[in-house]
């Protein structure tokens, strides 16, 4: 079981990135969430089997068709937050 926090930088807001991330996470059977950040990045926390989490992180490098990803920062998440079905959260 893997759990990662991911920050995506670039033109990733206003291009359907969160909706596409939700589709991909659900397809991969992941738990967690995705949200826009006020600084222009997209943030996600994902949890699932190692392969699915790795595939999601790889997907983040391209993201939504209209997105222009500049960088993806992936780190272990030790927040201890209980995660349920993947969801899109409000901007923070």
Residue 4 per-residue DSSP state: E
Phi, psi of 91, rounded to the nearest 5 degrees = -60, 140
CA distance 38 to 41: 7
- Please confirm, yes or no, whether 18 is among the known catalytic residues: yes
Please identify which of the residues 18, 27, 31, 37 carries the catalytic annotation.
18
Q: Which residue in this structure is represented by tokens 């930088």?
A: 9
Distance CA 3, CA 12 (A): 22
Between the two ends of the chain, the Cα-to-Cα distance in Å is: 27
Residue 49 annotated to the active site: no
Q: Which of 5, 11, 35, 36 is catalytic?
A: 36
Give the residue numbers annotated as catalytic, written as ranges: 18, 36
């Amino acid at each position: 079981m893997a759990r990662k926090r991911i920050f995506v930088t670039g033109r990733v807001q206003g291009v359907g990135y969160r909706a596409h991330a939700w589709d991909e996470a659900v397809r991969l059977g992941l738990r967690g969430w995705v949200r826009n950040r006020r600084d222009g990045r997209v943030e996600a926390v994902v949890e699932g089997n190692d392969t699915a989490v790795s595939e999601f992180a790889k997907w983040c490098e391209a993201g939504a068709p209209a997105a222009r990803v500049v960088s993806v920062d992936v780190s272990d998440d030790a927040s201890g937050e209980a995660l349920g079905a993947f969801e899109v959260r409000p901007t923070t």
